Amino acid sequence: MKHILAAPLALAATPALAASGPFFSLHNTNFVVLLAFILFLAVLVYFKVPGMIGGLLDRRAEGIKAELDEARALREEAQTILASYERKQQDVAEQAAQIVEHAKREAEVAAEVAKKDLKDSIARRLASADDHIASAEAAAIKDVRDAAIAVAIGAAKDIIAKQMSAAEGNKLIEDAIADVEAKLH
């Protein structure tokens, strides 16, 4: 270590050794510079510049420490907020899953209701079709009966007309009129 410092010190001291005359003389510029430097240091110490510099450095260190504390507090606050948002995100994800599950259940219920309504509608339409068929069948039977009655009346009329004389017809008409008169009075 001594050898490492010896070389730079030797190079720095060569101008001082190169001066002519005694070193402690005011004619020696190196001595004058040394005196000025010592005087400068004394003025700095007198005006308490090292203390001011130390105070400034201490205040700066306190400011840096305060900034670091504030940064830590902000970091902790940010972590708290992040944790809060992560919880909220998890809650929202759970709510979304519940909403989706609820929607699926409602869709299944709605599908079942729609199936039931469709079955009921089909049953009503089948019943309506059966009613229409029964009504059409009844109408057809009535039409057949009416036609049979009309044919029977026509046949009976023809038979009676062939077998009955005019006097017998008049007697039947008079009996019918007398019958109606008796029922109306």
Query: What's the rounded Cα separation, in Å, for the pair 151 and 158?
Result: 10
Task: Report residue 151 as tokens.
Answer: 């044919």
User: How much of the chain is helix, strand and coil, in % rounded to 5?
Assistant: 90, 0, 10
User: What are the tens digits of pLDDT across the range 96-117?
Assistant: 999 999 999 999 999 999 999 9
**Residue 107: its pLDDT value, please?**
93
User: What are the tens digits of pLDDT across the range 161-171?
Assistant: 777 777 777 88
User: What are the tens digits of pLDDT across the range 22-72?
Assistant: 777 778 889 999 999 999 999 999 999 989 999 999 999 999 999 999 999
pTM of the predicted protein model: 0.39
